């Protein structure tokens, strides 16, 4: 803790922060034998991180079903969407080309090469 810049209280200073620091904090003060308390919730956000091991995924044209992977982490847990050739693919949607929640492409053709990106 450190004296606040305006000299009116104490600041709780974190030199390094981690997800385990998140939670409920309370600031308490007393004046004329009367206690006051104010609670604060600290949410620690962990930036989105993509697993780069899956950056290039290959499949032979004409193959059967292929699962295109997107491993991502973060706090709170990120929601992943897929964009294929400029179109947002909705979870659970199955079209003639068979896109599913994890972007499982059933009809493998070179027309998909280079057009799929995570958003």
Q: Is the same domain home to 53 and 91?
A: yes
What is the pTM (predicted TM-score) of this model?
0.47
Q: Is the same domain home to 21 and 64?
A: no
The number of folded domains in the chain is 2
Mean pLDDT score of the chain, rounded to an integer? Answer: 76
pLDDT reading at 9 higher than 50: yes
Q: Is the same domain home to 52 and 97?
A: yes
Q: Is the same domain home to 33 and 80?
A: no
Cα dihedral value 26, 31, 34, 35, nearest 10 = 10
**pLDDT at 111 (0 to 100):** 56
Q: Is the same domain home to 55 and 29?
A: no
Q: Is the same domain home to 72 and 93?
A: yes
Residues in Cβ contact with 37 at an 8 Å cutoff, skipping those fewer than 6 apart: 26, 27, 28, 29
Q: How far apart are the first and last CA of the chain?
A: 41
pLDDT reading at 95 higher than 80: no
**pLDDT at 64 (0 to 100):** 77
Q: Is the same domain home to 6 and 28?
A: yes
Q: Is the same domain home to 91 and 107?
A: yes
- Write the pLDDT tens digit of every residue in 54-85: 778 788 887 777 777 788 888 888 888 888 77
Q: Is the same domain home to 114 and 93?
A: yes
Q: Is the same domain home to 58 and 102?
A: yes
Q: Token match 């659970």: residue? A: 92
Please state, in angstroms and rounded to a whole number, the distance separating the CA atoms of residues 89 and 98.
11
Q: Containing domain of residue 21, as a range?
A: 2-42
Q: Is the same domain home to 69 and 113?
A: yes
């Amino acid at each position: 803790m450190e004296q606040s810049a305006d000299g009116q209280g104490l600041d709780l200073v974190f030199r390094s922060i981690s997800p385990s620091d998140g939670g409920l904090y309370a600031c308490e003060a007393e004046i004329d034998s009367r206690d006051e308390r104010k609670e604060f919730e600290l949410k620690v956000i962990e930036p989105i991180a993509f697993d780069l091991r899956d950056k290039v995924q290959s499949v032979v044209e004409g193959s059967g079903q292929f699962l295109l992977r997107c491993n991502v982490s973060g706090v709170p847990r990120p929601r992943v969407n897929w964009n294929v050739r400029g179109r947002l693919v909705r979870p659970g949607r199955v079209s003639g080309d068979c896109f599913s929640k994890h972007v499982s492409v059933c009809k493998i053709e070179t027309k998909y090469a280079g057009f799929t990106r995570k958003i």
